[in-house]
Chain A
Amino acid sequence: MSDNHNHDEHKHHVTPFPLYHKVFAGLIGLTILTVVTSLFDFGMFNMVVAMGIATLKAGLVIAIFMQLKYDNLFNKVTFLCSFVFLAIFIIITASDLLFRPNVAPLQIDTSANAAAVAGPDVLNKLRISTPDQIAKGKTLYAVQCATCHGANGQGDGAAAAALNPKPRDFTSGIWKFGASPTRVFTTITKGSPGTGMAAYAGLSAEDRYALVHYVRSLSPKTPADTDEDLKAAGLLGGSSVVEKVQQTAHIDVVLENMAERDQVPFPEQEVRSPNHPGAKIFSQQCAQCHGLSAMGAPVVNIGLNPPVQFISKSWVDAQGSWVGDRGAFVNVVSHGFPGSGMPGMSNFSNQEWSDLHAYVKLLTTK
């Protein structure tokens, strides 16, 4: 290592040319050999044979052509170390890429109406729970759901730490969007916009119902589908129209509804135009969330676990299409906003719809 002596007596190594020629012949021979051996199948030794021959060739080039054989130990160690580090790189990376848990690749159905592919007959059959479905759901759950909802469905998965609101604890008996099979199916399909619950419309209907039955099997509260549920799912009567996946609500409304918020002062409100035919409906059905004169309402805890606090904005000056157009208004109110505190409310007569719509329009003007 100490090179600090008189260097002048060092002689450069001169390799005799016949050696070079011999090595060259060897290299050509090995090249032919490697092409020939590639025509045979040695099973799992194919790579070994090919790399073995390549390394022999490499060794000849390095030792003789690059003269490393005649070089000092130091240069030898330096150059060969690089292969050691490369080997470390390959082996440790392989310990990840080649040792991943065996998960069947997710089939993403990118067709727009994946939810609508399964017809009502199929859905009607699927919504009845069977042990097979529960077993299948359990396997799917581990892959698709456990990260957030926890291995045992208690809403304590690893990712739950970062989520707000927290994922549903299925063992609690609380179902935000309905506990019946079709309702849970809808929740899985559409997700809960504004929360960490994604829409799993890409899974087949069979897979989704399998999950439905599995997660319901964890819950103490599992009501059956009511007529209303079936009607909402389009499974009652002749209608085969399944609801379009409604992903978008007015996002700031939804976010406001779902985020924890400190108390925000709201103005004291009184019922406006109390003699208007729609006033009674509004103050009984809508005002507890939207405020007596639709100027927004303070934190409302509707007793879920975890508690949900939301705020509804003031509608004064609201200009969405749902305000002007009666059809749009009916559509919005009767479907509600999945993922928000706004439920679907459709038990109104034609006259009541008109009154309510007219009243709401009134409320949106100052």
Chain B
Amino acid sequence: MSSDEHKPHVVEGTNHVIPHHFQSAFHEFDASKFGMWLFLVTEVLTFGVLFVAYVMFRALNPEMFHEASLHLNKWLGGLNTIVLLLSSLTMAKAVGYVQRNNRKRAVQMLWITLACAATFMVVKYFEYSHKFHEGLLTAKYFTFKGFESANPGLFFSLYFMMTGLHGIHVTIGMGIIAWVLWRTRRGDFNENYFTPVELTALFWHLVDLIWIYLFPLLYLIG
């Protein structure tokens, strides 16, 4: 390797030192992004398990799914969908602003993203407490009377598992976004180095992606 291999390579305009096992800033970015895509693959397979369960139980209990879905509020679900789509937009723009070296706007976008995520969780809270109140719980604890079809608890178990796992990802995402927001404010990123923002955005878009499927599958069984 070249003689200045021991001199730490710092990305211009930031404090970021390129780890010595990478050849350049782009090498690090490219490898890290690829690593993130691999991680998203694992997330697809993780949620995929629940989608498999959904497909099977819905195919075996079509009327029950239809009947149970009526107990979900599609307007709240729709609101949450729009909120998350907005958060994806602002997250994408946050990355764009960092690339354009506009720290102020980037931070603003990240704040809006966080606010959207929080709104999502608040709406979720109301939805969940309504279910608890009505006894629309998991199969074993299901107490709501008035279903014609058998085993309605199964739908709600799926509902809680799928939206619950998704909600955990939203919460973790909020934590990561908050951290990235703090670092952006600090001036850690610019057009030459913004990998953490980029990776966070990819993760957040996946969270949005999952909800894009959950919404019609759970709320809109027509």
Binding site for B on A (CB under 8 A): 3-4, 6-8, 10, 12, 14-15, 17, 20-21, 23-24, 27-28, 31, 34-35, 37-42, 46, 50-51, 53-54, 57-58, 61-62, 64-66, 71, 74-75, 78-79, 81-83, 85-86, 89-90, 93-94, 97-98
Is the CB of B134 closer than 8 A to any CB of chain A?
no
Asked if A57 meets B212 with Cβ closer than 8 Å, knowing A82-B41, A90-B55, the reply is yes
Which residues of the partner chain B approach A27 to less than 8 Å between Cβ atoms?
85
B-side interface mostly:
helix
Are B25 and A7 touching (Cβ within 8 A)?
yes
Asked if A66 meets B222 with Cβ closer than 8 Å, knowing A79-B40, A83-B44, the reply is no
Which residues of the partner chain B approach A64 to less than 8 Å between Cβ atoms?
92
Give A83's nearest chain B residue, CB to CB: B44
Are A3 and B27 touching (Cβ within 8 A)?
yes
Are A86 and B34 touching (Cβ within 8 A)?
no
Most buried by B among A14, A27, A64, A85: A27
* Selected contact of B88 from candidates A54, A65, A78, CB within 8 Å: A65
Is the CB of B178 closer than 8 A to any CB of chain A?
no
Give the shortest distance, in Å, between A365 (CB) and chain B (any CB). Answer: 54
Are B216 and A50 touching (Cβ within 8 A)?
yes
Are A34 and B59 touching (Cβ within 8 A)?
no
Are B82 and A28 touching (Cβ within 8 A)?
yes
Kindly list 8 other residue pairs between chains A and B, CB separation below 8 angstroms, not including A38-B221, A83-B44: A8-B25, A34-B215, A38-B220, A50-B217, A50-B220, A78-B38, A82-B45, A90-B51
Which residues of the partner chain A approach B215 to less than 8 Å between Cβ atoms?
31, 34, 54
Is the CB of B33 closer than 8 A to any CB of chain A?
yes
Give the shortest distance, in Å, between B2 (CB) and chain A (any CB). Answer: 13
Give the shortest distance, in Å, between B220 (CB) and chain A (any CB). Answer: 4
Asked if A86 meets B216 with Cβ closer than 8 Å, knowing A61-B209, A97-B59, the reply is no
Asked if A78 meets B41 with Cβ closer than 8 Å, knowing A14-B99, A35-B220, the reply is yes
**18 pairs from A and B in contact (CB 8 Å cutoff):** A7-B23, A7-B30, A8-B26, A12-B191, A23-B89, A24-B85, A31-B82, A35-B74, A53-B216, A54-B216, A66-B205, A66-B206, A71-B33, A75-B34, A93-B55, A97-B56, A97-B59, A98-B59
- Per the bound structure, the CA–CA distance linking A79 and B38 in Å amounts to 7
Give B99's nearest chain A residue, CB to CB: A14
Give the shortest distance, in Å, between A50 (CB) and chain B (any CB). Answer: 4
Give B49's nearest chain A residue, CB to CB: A89
Give the shortest distance, in Å, between B19 (CB) and chain A (any CB). Answer: 14
7 pairs of A and B residues whose beta carbons are closest in the complex: A7-B26, A38-B220, A82-B44, A82-B41, A38-B222, A50-B216, A86-B48
Are A97 and B60 touching (Cβ within 8 A)?
yes
- Per the bound structure, the CA–CA distance linking A62 and B26 in Å amounts to 22
Which residues of the partner chain B approach A40 to less than 8 Å between Cβ atoms?
222
Is the CB of B1 closer than 8 A to any CB of chain A?
no
Give A14's nearest chain B residue, CB to CB: B99
- Per the bound structure, the CA–CA distance linking A15 and B82 in Å amounts to 22
Is the CB of B24 closer than 8 A to any CB of chain A?
yes
- Per the bound structure, the CA–CA distance linking A54 and B215 in Å amounts to 9
Are A78 and B212 touching (Cβ within 8 A)?
no
Give A12's nearest chain B residue, CB to CB: B99
Give A97's nearest chain B residue, CB to CB: B56
- B156-211 contacts to A, CB under 8 A, are 191, 201-202, 205-206, 208-209
- Per the bound structure, the CA–CA distance linking A38 and B81 in Å amounts to 15
Are A93 and B56 touching (Cβ within 8 A)?
yes
